[in-house]
Amino acid sequence: MTYGWAILVVLAAIGALAYFGVLNPSSALPSSCTIAPGVSCDDFKVSSSNVQLVLRNGFGDDFTAVGVSVTGCTADSDADGDDSWKDGSQLGGTGGITLTGCSNGESGARFKQDVNITYTSTSGVTHSLAGLVTSKVE
């Protein structure tokens, strides 16, 4: 009977911690930006209305017709206005690309969305890559 009461008290304590958000793992997760091998995410920033990504091509090949989308965002703004992506260079130049039209929540909210990249290789074949951005909204 004593063990039963002890287990009940422990369950009640765990329930209270979970209710008040102390055990919420998403608040403790670090910010990350991961894309498929061959593309590095050098830097990223999430604000309430846009997502800025600095992506680097590490495939050893140049690409054309490059498109980037993030779930929940409507458009991307390529800083240099070019849809090509040279080997070893950052997509959109030094400032990267900015995806606008997002509704990411208020400052401090947790952001976790899929990133999709489409491109055409020099052989004319269209490819698609997937990734994930996890961050707090700044």
Q: What is the pLDDT of residues 44-63, one digit of tens each?
A: 999 989 999 999 999 989 99
Beta bridge partners, 64, equal: 120
Which alpha helices (DSSP H) does the chain contain, by range?
2-19
Written as six digits, the tokens of 125 are 């074949």
The closest of 92, 98, 104, 108 to 77, measured between CA atoms, is 98
Q: What is the pLDDT of residues 3-47, one digit of tens each?
A: 999 999 999 999 998 888 777 666 666 889 999 999 999 999 999
Cα separation of 132 and 130, whole Å? 7
Q: Are 98 and 16 in contact (CB under 8 A)?
A: no
Q: What is the pLDDT of residues 91-106, one digit of tens each?
A: 888 888 999 888 888 8
- pLDDT on residue 18: 84
- pLDDT on residue 30: 82
